[in-house]
Structure 1
């Protein structure tokens, strides 16, 4: 399977070097690259468990021949944010 970014990667070699700087290797770069995004965070009980689901998704991407990359943007707990003006 050829990546959509294949032709662009031939013109912009720094993309590969940036990925390799985070532990990717030559074989990872050739795989379909899948972003696994989550609101995981350990600041409140509503999201602390989500990393377990992320790890299962990552496992599934590897199992199907892809290269996962995890991305987190945690949320604010509405229970913790009650009772103040902000």
Structure 2
């Protein structure tokens, strides 16, 4: 199992907090509280990382502001990649 660490932005949009790991375009999570939005963003980040690994794509380089905004740490292993693999119908 590998642990991945990426920085994310947190912002209030309309009626919820949005957490966006900038290294992965389209990846975000939202919620009524910052912890819930971070939890949702972590789930999305795990899925994005699993897809990158499954497709053999290089993961984006993690970069961090000083001080960091929001840090998301997620674990991804082969079992998770297998469980979340999307197989296209032919």
TM-score by length of 1: 0.31
Please state which structure has a larger fraction of its residues in strand: 2
Q: Relative contact order: is structure 1 or structure 2 higher (C-alpha 8 Å, sep ≥ 6)?
A: 2
Bigger radius of gyration among the two: 1
